[in-house]
Structures are given as C-alpha cells and as structure tokens.
Structure 1
Amino acid sequence: MTGTLLTGARVFTGTRTIDADLLIQGERLAAVLPPGSTAPAGVAVRHLSSDMLLAPGFIDTQVNGGGGVLFNDTPTREAALAIARAHRRFGTTALLPTFITDRVEGMQAAAMAAASASGVIGSGVIGVHLEGPFLTPERRGVHNLDHVRPASEGDLDFLEGLPDRFGAHDARVLLSLAPDRVAAAEIARLVAAGVIVAGAHSAASFAQTMAAVDAGLTGFTHLFNAMPPLANREPGIAGAALAARDTVCGIIADGVHVHPAMLRLALAAKGPGGLMLVTDAMPPTGTDATSFQLYGQTIHRRDGRLVTDDGTLAGADIDMAQAVRNAIRLMGVDVEEALRMASLYPARFLHLEHRLGRLQAGWQADIVLLDSDLTVTGTWVAGQWRDAAD
C-alpha cells in the first residue's frame, strides 16, 4: 500500500472540527482515522504541528486572473492552468476561470480551453464561469459596452452544448446574466441543459428576478455590486437575492466592494449556506504588480482596490485566504462557518458536494493546511502536495 498519513493537526471536516488523522491514497482521501493511528505498511507519515488545521480546499467560482494572467487576454488551456496554479498558494484548490464580456469568439475559446484544463488531473480547474455578455448596459460596471448584447439563438445553442463537454470531467458551466435581458424561458432552457445560472450586472425588478429563480436561476454573482441599491418599494435584484431562500450569493468580503454592515445584513438574511466567498480576482493576485491592462485601459492596484482612471472597480485585490479571515473579522462568523463559505457552500452550489467541500473518505483529496492565524502553509490537490512558498 502507498499513500500518506497526515497526523498531529486538527481536522475541520467541512461540518465540524475533530482530532483525527487523514489517509491519502492516490487522488482520494482513503480514510479519516482516530488520532495517533498506526500507518499501514508502505504509507509515509507526515507529522504536523498541533496548532495547524487541515480543512477542505477552498473553491472559488469567480476568478478572472492571477499570476499575471488574465483569462480574457489569453483564453487558452495554459492560461487556465496558470491561473489555478497562482491561486493555489492561497488555499484555492478548485476554481472556475472566469471570462467576462468580450467577443463571441473569445467566449467560445475560453469555454473550450477551460473544458480541456478541467480534464487535467490535479489542475484545480473545475469548469468555467462566463460572466456576461448578456447584461444590463447601465449596470455593466467595467464590462465593455461594445460587447454587451442580448443572447442570440446561436449563443443559446452553444451554451446548451457546453455541459456535455464539461461533464466528461465532472466539471461545471456557470453563466452570469441579467434577468431583465434574458427571458425566463431562455433561462429554463439553459438550466435544463445543465448550465448553472446566476444573476449579475442587472437592473432587473424583484418580479423579474423571482421569475428567473422560478425558471432555475440558483445564484447571484458578487451580491450588491453592479445592482441597484435596495429600495423599500422596489427591492430589485438585490432584494430578490436576499429573499430567495434556495439560492446562493457570491460575496466579495474585501471591505471595499460591500460595506461590513451590508455583509452582516446579507448573512442575516440568507442564513447558513446562503453566502459563499468569491474573490473576483484579477492578474495581480500572487504578484507584486501595481497595474494591468483590461480592454486596453490601465487598471491601477492601490489601497486594496483595482480601479480604472475614473475610480470604477475592476475586480478585487483579494485572495481566498484573505476572504476567509475577513469573513471572521467583518461578518462575525466563526472559523468553521468562514471555512464552509469558502468550500462546502460553493461545492453545493456547483453540485460537486459528492467529491469536494468535505474531508470525508472517498472524497477527492483537496486539502488546505492552515497555521494558527489561518495563513496557508500548503495544499494537496487530488492528493498532490504543494508548499505555499513554491
């Protein structure tokens, strides 16, 4: 028998924190054992400090770039893999490379590239997120107006065919759209094909959004951002996101995109399982870059923000480990709930909870090793170790 026995650290299983040892064999977590278990013959033993914590690897559903790479600029298999490598040092063991509004040929290339990358064992790529181009123009944020458009029959045909391509690798297709720009019948058509649909960049009314939820929309992308503010007579898409119980809202917990009071309000409204942490990360993540190019304009990295010359936010300057620590500090959740928001809840949202989001026998060995202040020491992806310093 070969494999690795992890011993000495505490273990957060995805539901609770216990004293246990973990046995990794191949790509899977073979067993959760009592602490101090004897290693089977041929199994290497890795002794960990008692102040460390083993937890399910983080899952990020919105990652535009990292390590100096922007998926929109290079919608290739190699770019998707490079972005995943850059985020792994921050505890993200699975992610969706995200392609924002752009030319149709770029969107199609990005989807095919992510499908290919998701077939690489241990890549960390578990699908693709297409954010746009079917958005409300006045709520597009930094998205290029030249490419914001309604969904054509050709678009719908292409999107309907994607889940089968990704399904071969048990990967997912997430589409963010504006419910006031895509009809409920079209949303139902995409959902029936296996596309996961989220609401975003929209001025949809409460009624329009709830009709989209009834049609199968199950998520909301970067809640409160690129949405009209809540109002007493027209709650709008943000109000619908808070009210729709069987939906999950992605939230950027950087203290910039959403005020801490609104973070706590969203948590109170949605309850456990209703919010998942996302980064909306851009190329500077994992680098010391102070700027990058998006749509031919310079995006500046300053004071914890990524902004255009006129101050428009263009993604976020945060990683998932920071998001977990911020959820504790800004939202008042405990460590276990913050970790669920980064792993179990996104796994459920993506219908991948049968293999990700928990430390459980038979699940993929995607694990993050955290020190006492929740700094990432390293990760295992499909059973393969990588030190965070590498």
Structure 2
Amino acid sequence: MALIAIDNGRIFDGEHWREDETLLIRDGRFEGFCPSDRGPAQAERTDIQGGVIVPGFIDLQVNGGGGVMFNDDQSVEGIRRICAAHARFGTTALLPTLITDTPAITAAAIEAGLQAKAEHVPGFLGLHLEGPHLSTARKGAHDPNLIRPMTEEDLTRLEAVGRRFDAIMITVAPENVTEDQVRRLKAAGYTVSLGHTNASYETAGQYAAAGARCATHLFNAMSQMENRSPGLVGAALDIGALNAGIIADGFHVHKGSMAAALRAKRGPGHIFVVTDAMSTIGTDLTGFTLNGRQIYRTDGKLTLADGTLAGADIDMFSSVRFLIEVIGLPLEEAAKMASVYPAEVMGVQDRKGRIAEGFDADFVILSADATHLTSTWIGGACVHLT
C-alpha cells in the first residue's frame, strides 16, 4: 500500500499537540511523523489546510444508527450500516449494543458480531450486551418481561464466546448476577459494567473487587448519591478501579452534575463519553419501535409514551462539542474522553485511541476551530468526507 502523508494541520496525538509535522500512514497503520518541510516525495499527500487531527472516536454503547436497531437486525449487514452511519460523525470504532432481549436474539447478535469481525467491517470493535440480567427497579426503557437472573446455562454460553471477540462488554446488575459470575465473565474476556441497578455503594465496591470495571451511563438507571447512601453514582466516582460512561446530550445528565462528576472522579479510572445512540442517527426518522413499544423522537431526545428516556439521539462529534461548548472542557480532554479512555477500558489501548507509530490509522480531521468535522479515516482509508 502506498505511503500517505497528511500535511498542514495541527495534530493532537492523544497526549500532546504536534505542530508543523506531517502524519504518515502505511498499510492501515500510523507510520510516524516527520517535519512538514521534509515529507517523503513518494507519498500520496493530503493537505488539510490548517485543520485539526484527533484520534478516532470510540463509542462503547451504540444501539443503532442509519435506520437500523441492532435488536431488530442481528446481521452483519445491519452492523455494517450502523458503523457506516456513525462514521459520518467521527466514530471509528464502536460496540453495537444489544438491549435486553430473548436468548435467541442474543445468540443471533453474537453470531452476527463474530461474522462482522471475520469480515473486518470498518468500525466494528466488538459487542456490548446490555442486559437481560438487570434490575427491574431500574429498568429504564428495557422490557421488564425479559429481565431475568443469570443462570449457569447463560454464563456457560457467554464464556464460550468471550475470547472470540477483540472486545466485548456486558452490563449487569448485582440483583441478578453474583460476584462469582462476574469473576468468571472477567476471566472469559468480558469488560463487566454495572448498570440498571439499585446497588449500594458497598455492593458496587464488592463487585468492583470481583472484576467489574465500569458503570453504564453514569447517573442514569442507577442508585443515586445521597448524604448517607452514595449508591452506584458515588461508587463510580470514588472507587478508582471503576470507569464510567456518560451520555453528553444535555438531557440524560444535567450539565452541573456532569461537570461536578468530572471534577470528582478518582483515578486511575476515568469518565468516558458514550452516545447510547438509537437507529435515528444519520436519518430523518421521527420514531421507531423497541421491543414492540413506540419510541418518539422530539427536540433532540427519544422517549417512550410516558416520557421515559429511551436511548439518545446524539452522535460522538456532537457529544465532544457539548463537552467543549457547554461543560467547558478543553478540546484535548474532550477528545480523550472519546478515544483514549474508552480504548483503555476495553483493553485495546495498545492499538487504538491514540495517534502513534504502529497504531491503527483511525482518526478524525476537524476544521481549524474544531467546530466542524471534515473527514473520518478508518485503517488509513477515508470513509467519510464532508
């Protein structure tokens, strides 16, 4: 494959800014950097005219896009459409997310994910199984009739496929999953996240010690922080071993709560951004169905008829802009929340999430003021150009 040189831009590599340097790409990976005035003569050159290059966005919670809900279309073509829809908004790697459903649908989703991996679908990173082993008390938009405890048969099936994926996440609630089951899921290759639960601070700590690494969509569908009962919100912020995804759309979490959480989070864990996006992304759909129930799209949010939020109607670039323009984060930190941190959570930080020699050449080019997305690149190929 020819050498590609990206010229005339500022580069945030995931840690530092690089000025007056040319980004080099070969065979789908970053080859390195060179001074702008000494680029290889034989390279295919792209002049980005003062634009900004940041690592490609990694979204660990994507229910759908491009008119497709993963729960409705468990096929490699469905996954391909979801990935392509989100690539328009800077997402270069994602986890198609299956919301609580039947064992048969879950099995079909896993098979589709394995096929997507085999076919190297651009943007496909792995799967996120959000349920069915959650708490009905914090069900959110999940169908309570499908929520149930994890059985030995469930666990054995999950263990059989975990290591076949490069990355796989599962959201569970302590009400329906035991600590030992979490240990076994972790051993089988799963990133275990706690969500849709009324778990106490103490219980969350016990499950973190058993191997849970995340909290799913911080603040939403979980026990809240109170003065004598910190809940899962408090645990996610105070326990360094836990990371937490957060939906940055202004509807799921108040901007003040989000800003306070970002200041309060104890490391080494981080808060990272997820979209929790539905099939509406990249379309003009006014609604869709989920487990037979109508979801309404109005004023930038998605709800059931009773007003319950049902996923989000936001993309990753819009989420990054929200973090910058509303929360007041610098571009660097907002970009890390969308790339570096999720890569670390899924254990792929040795090849994704940064612009570094040998890493997958996944990146996004923004306008000089970072207010517009101009192109998305996956594996060194431009997959979207505005």
What is the SS of the residue equivalent to 1:48? Answer: strand
Match of 1:257 in 2: 252
Counterpart for residue 17 of structure 1: 17
The Cα shift of 1:183 comes to: 1.0
Please report the TM-score for the alignment, with normalisation by the length of structure 2: 0.97
Equivalent of 1:205 in 200, 203, 223: 200
Q: Deviations over 1:262-281 (max 9, x none)?
A: 10111011157611000000
Counterparts of 1:319 and 1:352, CA distance in 2: 22
CA distance in 1, matches of 2:332, 2:119: 30
Distance 2:146 2:174 in 1: 17
1:5 Cα deviation after fit: 0.5
- Contact kept in structure 2, 1:122 and 1:381, CA below 8 Å: no
Deviates more, 1:267-276 or 1:194-203: 267-276
Root-mean-square deviation (Å)? 1.3
Matching of residue 386 in structure 1 with residue 367 in structure 2: no
> Which residue is 1:313 aligned to?
309
Partner amino acid for 2:239?
A: A
For the residue of structure 2 that corresponds to 1:146, the secondary structure is: coil
Equivalent residue runs for 1:349-364 within 5 Å: 349-364=345-360
8 Å contact kept, 1:90–1:388: no
Between the two proteins, the alignment pairs up a number of residues equal to 383
Residue 235 of structure 1 deviates from its aligned partner by: 1.1
**Is contact 1:115-1:128 (8 Å) kept?**
no
Identical amino acids, percent of aligned pairs: 42
CA deviation map 1:52-79 (0-9, x unaligned):
1111100000000000000000111111
Give the counterpart letter for 2:362 in structure 1.
Answer: D
User: What is the correspondence of 1:220-239 to structure 2 with a 5 Å cutoff?
Assistant: 220-239=215-234
Q: How far apart are residue 150 of structure 1 and its match? A: 0.2
In 1: Cα distance, 2:319 partner to 2:146 partner: 31
Counting only pairs closer than 5 Å after superposition, residues 110-149 of structure 1 correspond to structure 2 as 110-121=109-120, 123-149=122-148
Task: Give matches, 1:260-279, under 5 Å.
Answer: 260-270=255-265, 274-279=270-275
Q: CA deviation at 1:163?
A: 2.1
Q: Which amino acid aligns with 2:119?
A: V
- Give me the TM-score of the superposition, normalised by structure 1: 0.96
Please name the residue that 1:91 is paired with: 90
Q: Distance in 2 between matches of 1:254 and 1:316?
A: 8
The runs of at least 4 consecutive aligned structure 1 residues that moved more than 4 Å come to none
Which among 292, 296, 299 is matched to residue 300 of structure 1?
296
Is the CA contact (8 Å cut-off) linking 2:5 and 2:45 kept in structure 1? yes
Q: How far is 1:329 from its partner?
A: 2.3
The 8 Å contact of residues 87 and 384 in structure 2, kept in 1 or not, is answered as: no
Find the counterpart in structure 2 of residue 177 from structure 1.
172
1:374 to 2:386 alignment: no
Contact 1:131 1:175 in 2 (8 A): yes
The Cα of 1:40 is off from its aligned counterpart by 4.3
Any conservation in 2 of the 1:88–1:388 contact (CA below 8 Å)?
A: no
* Letter paired with 1:328: I
AA aligned to 1:345 is Y
2:280 alignment counterpart: 284
Provide, for residues 272-303 of structure 1, a one-character-per-residue CA deviation record: whole Å limited to 9, x for no partner: 76110000000000011111111112111111
Is the Cα contact below 8 Å between 1:5 and 1:45 reproduced in 2? yes
1:30 corresponds in structure 2 to 31
1:3 CA drift (Å): 2.1
Is this contact kept in 1: 2:5–2:39, CA < 8 A?
no
Partner of 2:5: 5
Instruction: Give secondary structure in 1 for the equivalent of 2:37.
Output: coil
Contact residue 243 and residue 270 of structure 1 kept, 8 A: yes
- Does the 8 Å contact 2:66/2:281 carry over to 1? yes
Distance 1:23 1:271 in 2: 36
Cα distance between partner residues in 2 of 1:285 and 1:115: 24
CA–CA distance in structure 2, aligned partners of residues 231 and 38 of structure 1: 57
Unaligned runs of 5+ in 1: none
What's the CA shift for 1:119?
3.0
Alignment pair present for 1:347 and 2:343: yes
Contact 1:180 1:205 in 2 (8 A): no
Report the AA paired with residue 124 of structure 1.
Answer: G
Residue identity in the other structure for 2:92: T
Correspondence for 1:334: 330
8 Å CA contact retained: 1:69, 1:83:
yes
User: Aligned to 1:239, what secondary structure does the other structure show?
Assistant: helix
Q: CA deviation at 1:254?
A: 0.6
Q: Find the aligned partners of 2:259 and 2:39 in 1 and give their Cα distance.
A: 45
Counterpart Cα distance in 1 of 2:22 and 2:370:
21
